Amino acid sequence: MHYLTIQNNQSVPVSEIPEISYNAFLVLNTGMMVENSGRHCANYFGYPEAGAIKLICCIADDEDHLIHLSSCVADTNMELASFTAKLPCFEKFEREIHENFGIHYTDHPWLKPVRFAYNRADSDKGIADYPFYSIDSEELHEVGVGPIHAGVIEPGHFRFICNGEQILHLEIQLGYQHRGIEKLFLEKDQLNQLSTLAENIAGDTTAGHTTAFVHAWESLCGFKTTRDIDFVRTLALELERIAVHTGDLSAVCTDIAYQLGSSVFGRLRTPIVNFMQEWCGNRLSKGLIRPGQNKFPFTQALANRLSEVLDIFETDFIEMNKELFDLPSALSRFERTGVVSTLDATSIGVVGMAARTCGMPRDIRMSHPHSLYPELNHEPVVKHHGDVYSRVQIRKHEVQQSILHIRNLISNLPDVHERVEMGKPRAGLFAISLVEGWRGEICHCAVTGQQGELIHYKIKDPSFHNWLALALAVRNNEISDFPVCNKSFNLSYCGHDL
């Protein structure tokens, strides 16, 4: 056995992760994924250790609910064979390792920097002079969009190669939002600062990223959560899912110029986020989730209020969905637009909601359940066409499913426990935490040093995998359908850029 098998939210001494030669490391990890399609790479990263780079690869097995860890030590001036040549889903992980540490891969197809971090290995290359994939043709033309977005949301540069109105190729350049958040995790020493950082990894996934962080932290500290703490986190995750999915439905309607849907779904999001405000004083659930404590216990009064809010919400939500899915002009925009084939989705390692629209039942709530998910017996909603229609429909179904889960949860409120001291993170540990945010699988990995201080913190937002799916989805589509494809994925810029 050249790998170590653990479960979600478990921490193990770093020294126990088997360290093998790079070739064995490559064969082991690619082999594990090839032999079983139920496995995917949850995280693959490196960190400097004693003048060399330690690479750790985490392969999650969705059927056995296990995570396989293996590691390897590489030198910065080594030339290595890439994982990507065998499995495209490692593409961005290797680009990131190349960017941060200068490790060169001999057979990586497109070894461009990911986000131009300020502490990148080769600071000669700038984001402005990055060479894009280009064409030399009289017939085709290039369209560059961004980095300033038309709706002044987050920045990202999209370079299209088009044949008239048809998109042949899209290259997405991100990194404009890079804040060095992983580095900040190592620099800040107060727990509150760390929690606040985690909340701001991606503003729309506050509950998701904060839950991932607190799980990793509690695991490092050896803290056992009580039921009321788990309850709050599960509830916050599901409420966040309802709020964001509803907001996305509104945004998709805006992009196809369907005013009724746009305004009704927009209005429906409000009572949900306002409920969060009533509960914890913040509409985006900032400040709600903290390691080792339950700051805002969920009372019976809140439960009654929530069930009232959901009753009103659900009636209107179902009615508006009926209108939307009965509208021929809307369906003609959704159906067969932006298709990601199951084959593509599997090979590039798409996660979360986007994966579930391509026929893959990939859902951490089922495969690596945490908090109260084991008792909710979550069954993922799976769609098969991989088009905008599937991605719109899955939002409708997941919102209804979340409402069911919430009704289940609040019918049996947990007792509030006394706060127990949590202690400090233990020395020399590796912790991994997987959480299903509304967008998909969030993975946080933490490594502690000799004094129990963090020596590496690795964050992976689902957008990290899924941006490539968007680039593939728009191929052969009309360029005017790009906005609705983009919105149907609704990926995070800052979650990717960190």
Partner 1 sequence: MLSVVLIIIAAIFFTGIIIRTKSLASGRKGPGILQPVHDVIRLFRKGVVYSETTSFIFQLAPSVYFASIIMAMLVVPFGRSGGVLGFNGDFIFFAYVLALGKFFSIIAAMDTGSSFEGMGASREALYSMFAEPAFFILMGSLALLSGHTSFQEIFAALHIGSQISYALAALATFVLLMISMIENSRMPVDDPKTHLELTMIHEVMILDNSGFDLGLILTGGYLKFAIYGALIVNLFIGVIPYEYAIPAFFGIQFLMAVTIGLIESFMARFRMSHNPQFIVALTSVSLLIFFGVLLILQKFM
Question: Is there binding between residue 138 and partner 1 (CB under 8 A)?
Answer: no
Positive or negative, the CA dihedral 458, 102, 120, 147 is negative
Task: Report which of 134, 145, 139 is spatially closest to residue 479, judged by C-alpha positions.
Answer: 145
Question: Is there binding between residue 141 and partner 1 (CB under 8 A)?
Answer: yes
What is the DSSP code (8-state) at residue 342?
Answer: H
Question: Is there binding between residue 127 and partner 1 (CB under 8 A)?
Answer: no
Task: Report which of 257, 280, 255, 253 is spatially closest to residue 268, judged by C-alpha positions.
Answer: 253
- 254 vs 402 by CB, closer to partner 1: 254
Closest distance between partner 1 and the C-beta of residue 408, in Å? Answer: 33
Alpha carbon 460 to its chain centroid, in Å, reads: 6
One residue of 6, 145, 237, 372 binding partner 1 per CB under 8 A: 145
Alpha-carbon distance of 45 to 14, in angstroms, equals 14
Closest distance between partner 1 and the C-beta of residue 322, in Å? Answer: 14
Closest distance between partner 1 and the C-beta of residue 328, in Å? Answer: 8
- 149 vs 407 by CB, closer to partner 1: 149
One residue of 253, 364, 366, 498 binding partner 1 per CB under 8 A: 253
Question: Is there binding between residue 315 and partner 1 (CB under 8 A)?
Answer: no
Alpha-carbon distance of 24 to 26, in angstroms, equals 5
Task: Report which of 368, 495, 452, 378 is spatially closest to residue 59, judged by C-alpha positions.
Answer: 368
One residue of 63, 75, 107, 165 binding partner 1 per CB under 8 A: 165
Closest distance between partner 1 and the C-beta of residue 269, in Å? Answer: 15
From 184-192, 309-317, 369-377, 481-489, give the range in contact with partner 1 by CB under 8 A: 481-489
Structure token digits, residue 465: 């995998």
One residue of 140, 168, 422, 479 binding partner 1 per CB under 8 A: 479
Question: Is there binding between residue 312 and partner 1 (CB under 8 A)?
Answer: no
Closest distance between partner 1 and the C-beta of residue 411, in Å? Answer: 33
Radius of gyration of the chain (CA): 22
- 257 vs 318 by CB, closer to partner 1: 257
Question: Is there binding between residue 262 and partner 1 (CB under 8 A)?
Answer: yes
From 21-29, 259-267, 341-349, 369-377, give the range in contact with partner 1 by CB under 8 A: 259-267
Residue identified by tokens 């709050």 is 232
One residue of 5, 196, 200, 263 binding partner 1 per CB under 8 A: 263
Structure token digits, residue 254: 């805006």
Positive or negative, the CA dihedral 236, 242, 245, 248 is negative
Alpha-carbon distance of 80 to 47, in angstroms, equals 17
Number of chain positions touching partner 1 (CB under 8 A): 33
Other C-beta atoms closer than 10 Å to the C-beta of 106 total 10
| Strands annotated E in 164-279 | 166-173
Question: Is there binding between residue 257 and partner 1 (CB under 8 A)?
Answer: yes
- Show the site string, 321-340: x = touches partner 1 by CB under 8 A, - = not: ------x-xx-xx---x---
One residue of 144, 222, 374, 423 binding partner 1 per CB under 8 A: 144
One residue of 19, 142, 314, 316 binding partner 1 per CB under 8 A: 142
Question: Is there binding between residue 478 and partner 1 (CB under 8 A)?
Answer: yes
- 219 vs 321 by CB, closer to partner 1: 321
- Show the site string, 449-468: x = touches partner 1 by CB under 8 A, - = not: --------------------
The alpha helices in 19-76, defined as continuous H runs, are: 22-35
Alpha-carbon distance of 354 to 121, in angstroms, equals 33
Alpha carbon 315 to its chain centroid, in Å, reads: 30
From 37-45, 136-144, 188-196, 428-436, give the range in contact with partner 1 by CB under 8 A: 136-144
- 145 vs 445 by CB, closer to partner 1: 145
Residue identified by tokens 């306002």 is 274
- 82 vs 173 by CB, closer to partner 1: 173
Alpha-carbon distance of 186 to 34, in angstroms, equals 35
Q: Are 275 and 309 in contact (CB under 8 A)?
A: yes
- 56 vs 392 by CB, closer to partner 1: 392
From 34-42, 256-264, 286-294, 304-312, give the range in contact with partner 1 by CB under 8 A: 256-264
Q: Are 265 and 252 in contact (CB under 8 A)?
A: no
Alpha-carbon distance of 205 to 441, in angstroms, equals 11
**Phi, psi (rounded to 5 degrees) for 189:** -115, -5
Question: Is there binding between residue 259 and partner 1 (CB under 8 A)?
Answer: yes
Q: What 3-state class would DSSP assign to 13?
A: strand
Question: Is there binding between residue 481 and partner 1 (CB under 8 A)?
Answer: yes
One residue of 24, 148, 260, 420 binding partner 1 per CB under 8 A: 260
Closest distance between partner 1 and the C-beta of residue 451, in Å? Answer: 51
Alpha-carbon distance of 182 to 188, in angstroms, equals 10
- Parallel, antiparallel or unpaired: strands 66-74 and 166-173: unpaired
Can you give the binding site for partner 1, defined by CB under 8 A? 141-145, 150-151, 164-165, 253-260, 262-264, 267, 327, 329-330, 332-333, 337, 478-483
